[in-house]
Amino acid sequence: MNSDNVAGKESIKDLYNEAKQRIRLILSMFGRYEPEKINPLPDDKSFAAISNLINSIMSSAQFESDNQYRNAIVEISNWMNCAFNKEFLNKHEALYPNPLYVVRKGAEILHSFLHRDLRRKQFSSEEDEIYRNYITMISSLPDPRNKKLDQEDVDGMIDNLLKSS
């Protein structure tokens, strides 16, 4: 039973290491963004790559047991995934904070949460404040998760995920 635990920890650690690399790619493709300005969307190729990377990060926490980090990683990546679509970003580009900036900020926070020692299950007071500030920031924007998808969109997303894996 201990060997399963060790193997599980190693696989989660590997998944998180891969997710950290993906986040680094996302951050480098984004470049520098500012909350009070309209930030230009990445070009179509970069946009598609970032979208696929965000999707892959969402799944990284599913193997970890229920704890503050896992729940935060799932919530942040889910919001990022829903918000990172051209329709939402273009429609709300004039809002403060800029939605693209908030997606980038979410990637920075995920990067730090994925860097932690996996034995830690509770936030430090600083991490708790960072997480609460992010939740406050996203709550000031329209919620992209409320959008219902039609079956064609769902089928298309599944097809895209299967192609990318």
Tokens encoding 139: 């709550």
CB contact set of 61 (below 8 Å; sequence gap of 6+): 69, 70, 73, 74, 77
d(CA 60, CA 18): 9
pLDDT digits (tens, 9 = 90+) for 9-49: 568 888 888 999 999 999 999 888 777 888 889 999 999 99
Tell whether pTM > 0.85: no
Domain boundaries, the chain: 10-141
Token look-up 């990067």 returns 111
Determine which of 27-36, 86-95, 132-141, 148-157 has the lowest per-residue pLDDT on average: 148-157
Looking at per-residue confidence, does 64 or 131 come out higher? 131
